[in-house]
Chains A and B, each alone.
Chain A
Amino acid sequence: MTKADIVEEVYSRVGFSKKESSDVVETVLETIKKTLEKGDVVKIAGFGNFAIRHKGSRKGRNPKTGQEIEITPRKVVTFKPSQVFKEHILQYDARKAEEEAGGRV
């Protein structure tokens, strides 16, 4: 699934024009990026939280040459799915398992 497919889903599920759907998708993604860039957390209820983690420097190794190198401190994005998101997956799997079991009887 790509951005275009999400635009398509928004268009078909809620009936806004493709232009509007596409504009909102772009703006949502850009807003999340800008917020993370500032170092702020983005909390999407029912979906999950995007946050920045500061990683300290550590020793690494060039896998080709085996040479030891210093990995510089850096900031990385982490995503923690909400309980609702995790349940969404588990419930889908439970339904599917039930259907399959039902189909065999």
Chain B
Amino acid sequence: MTKAELVETVVENINGLTKKQTEVIVNTIFESIKDALARGDKVELRGFGSFKIRQRQSREGRNPKTGEMVAVPAKRVPFFKAGKELKIRVDN
């Protein structure tokens, strides 16, 4: 399923919203999650899961093409953990 298909499904299930309006709302949902994580907040969606930031240490990497050693800087990366309900439903 793609974002466009997700929007379609939402339009079919909710009365009174156009596809364009739904698209804007769906985009805003995902944008607000991204913004929250960037700020350092975590996002907890009951029954679905939580999005958090994980801190990655700096490390020595290697350019796969040249084999040259390069320093990979420390960084923050997004992380998702499925909630209880989602876990159970997926593993039924």
Please tell me if the beta carbons of B3 and A45 are within 8 angstroms of each other in the complex: yes
Rounded to whole Å, the gap between the CB of A9 and the closest CB of chain B is 4
Interface residues on B, range: 35 or more
> Across chains A and B, which 4 residue pairs bring their CB atoms closest together, nearest first?
A79-B80, A92-B38, A9-B32, A77-B82
Q: Any chain A CB within 8 A of the CB of B59?
A: no
**Residues 1-18 of chain B, each 1 if its beta carbon lies under 8 Å from chain A, else 0:** 111001001100110110
Interface residues on A, range: 35 or more
Rounded to whole Å, the gap between the CB of B9 and the closest CB of chain A is 5
B-contacting residues of A (Cβ < 8 Å)?
A: 1-3, 5-6, 9-10, 13-14, 16, 20-21, 23-25, 27-29, 31-33, 35-37, 40-48, 50, 52, 74-77, 79, 81, 85-86, 88-90, 92-93
